[in-house]
Amino acid sequence: MRDEVLKSRWEDLQTKLSNQFADGELMDLDAIIYLVGVQELGQPQKKFKKDDKVNLMHIAICRLLEPYGFYEFDFVDEDGWPHYENISKLPALRPGEQSVLMKEAIVQYFLEREYIE
């Protein structure tokens, strides 16, 4: 049952984000993680370099996994970039399990922001 709810919410979120940010072209997991990073940085108008994009995805992953106890917010640097501290080792997960964990964390993130129900 839980998996079906997650699947439904993920598909609804993916469709909504894709319509809003990708002209309806279905956004994949990485694109949505990147979007969360941009949201967390709070500089949506800025053009990002390739290195920045990797860092944005790192910010997103830290923020998304923070409620699970893997990361803890540490500080914001002088450029406005949030930094997190790894406080618990991530479990060894198979790729499919990693994907499910990230989708679950992303859905929860957008539920908390009342972007989806």
DSSP state of 27: P
Q: How far apart are CA 19 and CA 41, in angstroms?
A: 22
CB-based burial label for 87 (10 Å; 0-12, 13-18, 19+)? exposed
Taking 80 as the threshold, does the pLDDT of residue 2 lie above it? no
User: Closest Cα partner for 88 from 66, 64, 60?
Assistant: 66
Where do the structural domains in the chain lie, given as residue ranges? 2-112
Give per-residue pLDDT as tens, 81-106.
Answer: 999 999 999 889 898 899 999 999 99
pTM for the structure as a whole: 0.91
Work out the number of other CB atoms within 10 angstroms of the CB of residue 14.
20
Give per-residue pLDDT as tens, 18-64.
Answer: 999 999 899 999 999 999 999 999 988 888 898 899 999 999 999 99
